């Protein structure tokens, strides 16, 4: 999620629990790349910040899904009628959600039933 779209409480302790040291952030609010290089990118999915971010997206906590819907509505409006656009990929490599609040989202296939499909249905309906 873009840093502007999520409350600081979600990302302020990034990448906890992966590192005992909190990462330093640059002027744009992003962690310094030197810090980010301390872990493989896939490991960050297990950070509390990423879990909270995806959990907020799927459940609309902090209005995050609403912001995501507005984004996709603008994309769909911009490309409406474009003969070269055949589909949209709503999110690349989605995470199951907040495994720390609900560990069941980590059961294969269950996160789709719990939260993700509902969010996709809302987003798809709005861009149509």
Digit-coded pLDDT (tens) for 1-24: 777 788 888 888 889 998 878 888
Pick from 5, 112, 120, 91: nearest CA to 52: 5
- Residue 30, C-beta contacts closer than 8 angstroms, at least 6 positions apart: 3
Indicate which residues carry an active-site annotation.
Answer: 93
CA 8 to chain centre: 14
Chain position carrying tokens 């297990």: 46
**Which tens digit of pLDDT belongs to each residue from 37-46?**
988 989 999 9
Distance of CA 33 to the CA centre of its chain: 19
Residue 33 vs residues 29, 30, 37, 54, 107: alpha-carbon distances, Å = 12, 9, 6, 22, 32
Name 35's bridge partners. Answer: none
Give residue 105's pLDDT band: very low, low, confident or very high (50, 70, 90).
very high
| 28, pLDDT greater than 90 | no
Yes or no: say if 96 and 106 are a contact pair by the CB < 8 Å rule. yes
CB < 8 Å & 24+ apart, contacts of 2-8: 3/28, 3/29, 3/30, 4/29, 5/64, 5/67, 5/68, 6/53, 6/56, 6/62, 6/64, 7/62
């Amino acid at each position: 999620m873009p840093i502007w779209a999520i409350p600081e409480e979600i990302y302020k302790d990034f990448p906890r629990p992966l590192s005992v040291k909190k990462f330093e952030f640059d002027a744009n609010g992003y962690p310094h790349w030197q810090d980010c290089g301390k872990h493989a990118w896939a490991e960050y999915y297990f950070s509390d910040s990423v879990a909270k971010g995806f959990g907020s997206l799927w459940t609309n906590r902090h209005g995050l899904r609403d912001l995501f819907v507005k984004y996709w509505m603008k994309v769909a409006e911009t490309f409406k009628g474009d003969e070269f656009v055949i589909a949209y990929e709503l999110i690349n490599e989605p995470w199951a959600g907040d495994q720390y609040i609900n560990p069941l989202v980590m059961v294969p296939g269950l996160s789709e039933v719990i939260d993700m499909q509902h969010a996709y249905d809302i987003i798809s309906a709005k861009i149509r």
